[in-house]
Amino acid sequence: MSRSPLNLPRLAWRYLWARPMLTALNLMLLSLGLAAIGFVVLVSEQLEQGLRRDLGGIDLVAGAKGSPMQILLAGVFHLDQSTGNIPLATVSQLKAQPLVAQAVPISLGDSFRGHRIVGTTADYLALYQLELAQGRRWTGPMQAVLGAEVARQSGLKPGDRFHGTHGLAGGGEEHEHPYEVTGVLAPTGGVVDRLVLTDLASVWEAHAAHGHAAKSARESKGRGHDDHASDRDHASDRDHASDRAEDHDHATDHEHEHEHEHEHEHDREHTGAHADAALEVSMVLVRYRSPLAAVMLPRWVNAQAGLQASVPALETARLLSMVGVGVDVLRGFGGVLLLAAALSVLVALLHAVRERQGDLAMLRMLGATPARVAGLIALEALMLASLATLLALGLAHGFAAVLGAVLAQQQSVRISGAWVSAWEALVPALALGLALIAAAWPAWRGYRLDVTELLQTPR
Amino acid sequence: MASTDAAALIASHGLRFRYGASAAADLHFPDFELPRGAHLLLRGASGSGKSTLLALMAGLLTPTAGRLAMDGVEVGALAPAARDAWRGAHLGFMPQRLHLSASLSVRDNLALPYVAAGLKPDDARITALLAELGIAPLLDRRPHALSQGQAQRVALARALLRAPRFVLADEPTANLDDEACDATLALLRRVATEHGASLVIASHDARIEAVWSEWPALQRLRLTRMGSAAMPLPTSCATP
C-alpha cells in the first residue's frame, strides 16, 4: 500500500480494488466492448482510406468480360486474378475517346516472392503520382522499379537482378530471363508499395522467352483465369505472337534510349497500332476527362466484344457494403458488450453502496457532504471507465496490428496498429458516458444515505 | 445566539422531533443544560429517543420544534453543508459497531476524518494519537486483523483526530464483558479528559452508572417516552 496521503480519488481507487475479481470482470467487459468499437473505427477508416488511396483517381477499369468486382480487385487492389486478357488495341481505342483523360494499360500474371509484377507504361507512375526514392524508372523491357515494401523485404537495390515467377502466388515456375532493378519507389502506404513495376513489354518478353503467348481477346471468355493459364491453351499462336512482341520491344527499346519520356506514350500507341492484333494486356485503368464520361464510357466499354467495364466508385461501394455487414456485426457485438458492462457496473456499484453503507454513513458522520459521498461513488465508476478506455484503445490497436500482420502475410489490404483516428475519441466518450449513467443511481443512493442508521441499535 | 446558550456547552429548550407525520413518533425532549467541562450520560429504554437526540446533536436531524445549541451553535439551523462541516470539525463519534472500513488499513481509516472534510491527512497527529493509545504498531493492519479492544482504540483515535469539542459514543459497552467494559470506560474517561472533549454517551447499560457513580463531572439525563405533544414536558433532567 502506498504511503501517499489518502484523498477522495485514492479512496475511490482503494474501494474499486477492494473487490478485485468483480472489478476485473467489469473492466474486462467494458474494455472488450469499447475495444470492439475502437477496432471497427480503426479498421473501417483505414480500409476506406486505403481503398481511396489505391483508387488514385481511377474512374473506370476495362478488363476482359467477367465480374466487375474481380476486375477492380485484380486491377486496382491487386487482390484477385484478372478476368483474362484484352487486346492492346483497347488502349488506343480508349485514348481516342474524347471523354478519356488517361488510359493506362496493365499486364498481370507474374510475381516476385509473392509481390505482383505489373507490366505498364510510364503513365502508371503519373496516375498514382509515384516518386522514385532511388535510381531511375525503367527504360526498356526486363527492367523493373520496385515498390518500397518489395525493396525492403527483398533487399534489392538498383543494379540488382531477380527472376520473376509465373503466376501470382509464390512457388510458381521461375522465368529464365532475369529482371534488372533500375529504381525503387518512395513509400506510399498503398498497394503500390508491394508491387514490382515494369514495362508492358517485359511481361510479353518474359512469357515469350518462357514459351507463352498472348491470346486474342475474342478467345478469352473465361472468368477468373490465371492469365497465363489460359495462355497455355494457345500454344500454337505462341511463336508468331512472341516474334511480334520481340519486334515491338526492339523498336521501343531503341527509341527509349534516345527519346524523351513522354514520347514513349506516342511510341507505344504507334507500335500498339501495328502490333495490337496479337498483343494483349490484362486491364486498362481509365481516368475521365469530364463527369459526362461516367454516363457514356462504361456503356461504350461494355458494348465492345469481350470487354467489361468496372466502375471503382460503384464496386467499392458494393465492397464496403459487404464489409459493412461485418462491421455492423462487430459494432453490434461491441454495443451488446457495452450494455452488459454498463449493467454490470451498475449492479456492482449498487451492491458496493449497500455493502459499504456503514463506511459511507461514517464518512458523512465524519463531516462529508452528501455530494462528496456521491462523488466518491461516481469517481469509482469514472476510474473504471478511464482504465477501460486505456485498455480498450490498447486492445483496439493491438487487434488492428494483428489483423494488419495477417493481411500483410496475405499481401492484402494494409491495416496498421499505429493508425490513429479522431473517432477514437468515441471510446473515452462512450466509457465516461456509460460510467456516469451506471453510477447515477448508486451515487443518488449514496447522496440520500440515511446516516442516522449508524445510531440505531443493531438488530 | 443567546448568551445563556453560549454559557452552557449543550442547551436544549422545548426540543421536539417527529418522524414523519405520525403523532406516535413525536418525541419531546426534556430541557437541560450541560455546563462546560461536564460529560453527559443519556439513559433510557429502547425507543426513548437516545439515538434521535444524538442525531439532533450531530445535525443529522433538525428539530421539529424548540432549540438545541451545541457550544453555542444551533446546528439544526445551519445550512446542510455547514452542518456537515461543523460535525466534522467539532464532533467525534464512536458508533456501537465501530464501523472501521474493512477495505482500508488502519492508517487509511484514520485518514478518513480528513478526507471526509477535504483536508490533507495530518500524519503526525495520527501517529501521535496512535502512540498515545498504545496501538502505534497497528498502522498498516486491516480492521479484521485487530482485536475488539484494538479496534475500539482505532475508532476512538478516529473520533479524536480533529480535536473535537464533543465525543458522542453510542452504546460503547454493549456486548462487552465486565472487564472490557471497565477498560473501555476508563479509556474513554481518560482520553476525553486529556483532550478536553465532552463525552456524550447514550446507553441503556446499567454498568456505566455503577462504574462512574463517583465521577462528579458526569451528568445524567434519563429519557422517557412521552408520546404525544399534549403531554407535559418531561422533568427528569438529571442534577449534577
- Write down the ipTM of this complex: 0.88
Q: What is the 3-state secondary structure (H, E, C) of A33-86?
A: HHHHHHHHHHHHHHHHHHHHHHHCCCCEEEEECCCHHHHHHHHCCCCCCCCCCE
The set of cell numbers assigned to B240 is 449534577
Q: Name the minimum distance, in Å, from the CA of B166 to any CA of chain A.
A: 13
Q: Do A452 and B88 touch (CB under 8 A)?
A: no
B200 phi/psi in degrees, rounded to 5:
-120, 110
Pick the closest to residue A228 from A254, A252, A246, A210 (CA basis). A210
**Which residues from chain A sit within 8 angstroms of residue B123, using beta carbons?**
5
In terms of residues, how long is chain B?
240
Residue of B nearest to A5 (CA): B121
Longest dimension (CA), chain A: 108
Q: Which helix (H) or strand (E) holds B171?
A: none
A174 phi/psi in degrees, rounded to 5:
-85, 140
**Which residues from chain A sit within 8 angstroms of residue B101, using beta carbons?**
356, 359, 362
* Distance (Å, whole) CA B120 – CA B102: 21
Q: Name the minimum distance, in Å, from the CA of B116 to any CA of chain A.
A: 4
Residue A216 has pLDDT above 70, yes or no: no
Q: Name the minimum distance, in Å, from the CA of B113 to any CA of chain A.
A: 5
Residue of A nearest to B92 (CA): A366
Q: Is residue A215 within 8 Å of residue A109, measured between CB atoms?
A: no
| Of the partner residues B55, B112, B121, the one whose CB lies closest to the CB of residue A452 | B55
Q: Do A8 and B118 touch (CB under 8 A)?
A: yes
Matching residue, cell 490513429 = A420
Q: Is residue A181 within 8 Å of residue A161, measured between CB atoms?
A: yes
Other CB atoms within 10 A of residue A48 CB: 13
Q: What is the mean pLDDT of chain A?
A: 81
Alpha helices per DSSP H over chain B: 3-7, 50-57, 80-90, 106-117, 123-132, 148-160, 178-195, 206-211
pLDDT bracket for residue A267 (50, 70, 90)? very low
Q: CB contact, 8 Å: B171 with chain A?
A: yes
Q: B2-41: per-residue pLDDT in tens?
A: 444 457 899 999 999 988 777 667 888 999 999 999 999 9
Residue A378 has pLDDT above 90, yes or no: yes
The amino acid sitting at A138 is W
Q: Name the minimum distance, in Å, from the CA of B131 to any CA of chain A.
A: 19
Q: Do B88 and A454 touch (CB under 8 A)?
A: no
Other CB atoms within 10 A of residue A379 CB: 21
Rank A311-315, A395-399, B47-51, B234-238 by mean pLDDT and report only the highest: A395-399
Q: How many CA atoms lie within 13 A of A364 on its CB side?
A: 26
A299-313, A321-335, B119-133: segment of lowest average pLDDT? A321-335
In terms of residues, how long is chain A?
459
pLDDT bracket for residue A248 (50, 70, 90)? very low
Beta strand segments in A289-400, E:
307-310
Give B30-36 contacts, CB < 8 A, sequence gap 24+: B30/B221, B30/B223, B30/B233, B30/B234, B30/B235, B30/B236, B30/B237, B31/B233, B31/B237, B32/B221, B32/B237, B32/B238, B33/B8, B34/B8, B34/B9, B34/B10, B34/B198, B34/B219, B35/B8, B35/B9, B35/B240, B36/B8, B36/B9, B36/B198
pLDDT bracket for residue A50 (50, 70, 90)? confident
Across the strands, what pairs with A364? none
Interface residues of chain A, partner chain B, Cβ below 8 Å: 1, 5-8, 11, 14-15, 18, 356, 358-359, 361-370, 372, 451-452, 454-458
* Distance (Å, whole) CA A332 – CA A329: 5
- DSSP annotation string for B70-102: ETTB-GGGS-HHHHHHHHHHHEEEE-TT----T
| Of the partner residues B60, B85, B96, the one whose CB lies closest to the CB of residue A452 | B60
Matching residue, cell 459514543 = B169
**Which residues from chain A sit within 8 angstroms of residue B104, using beta carbons?**
11, 14
The amino acid sitting at A311 is V
Q: Is residue B186 within 8 Å of residue B75, measured between CB atoms?
A: no
Q: A55-108: per-residue pLDDT in tens?
A: 878 999 999 999 999 999 898 888 888 888 899 888 888 999 899 999 999 999
Residue A1 has pLDDT above 60, yes or no: no
Q: Is residue A339 within 8 Å of residue A431, measured between CB atoms?
A: no
Task: Say what the pTM is.
Answer: 0.72
Q: How many CB pairs under 8 A join A and B?
A: 106
Q: Do A1 and B108 touch (CB under 8 A)?
A: yes
Residue of A nearest to B123 (CA): A5
**Which residues from chain A sit within 8 angstroms of residue B61, using beta carbons?**
452
* End-to-end C-alpha distance for chain B, whole angstroms: 25
Q: CB contact, 8 Å: B105 with chain A?
A: yes
Interhelix angle A357-365/A312-355, nearest 10 degrees:
70
Q: Do A365 and B58 touch (CB under 8 A)?
A: yes
Per-residue DSSP letter, B140: T
Residue A44 has pLDDT above 90, yes or no: no
SS3 call for A412:
coil
pLDDT bracket for residue A143 (50, 70, 90)? very high
Q: What Rg, from alpha-carbon coordinates, does chain B have? A: 18
The set of cell numbers assigned to A363 is 464518512
Q: Is residue A299 within 8 Å of residue A65, measured between CB atoms?
A: no
A285 phi/psi in degrees, rounded to 5:
-90, 130
| Of the partner residues A15, A358, A367, the one whose CB lies closest to the CB of residue B88 | A367
Q: B159-214: per-residue pLDDT in tens?
A: 999 999 999 999 999 888 999 999 999 999 999 999 999 999 999 889 999 999 99
Q: CB contact, 8 Å: B36 with chain A?
A: no
* End-to-end C-alpha distance for chain A, whole angstroms: 35
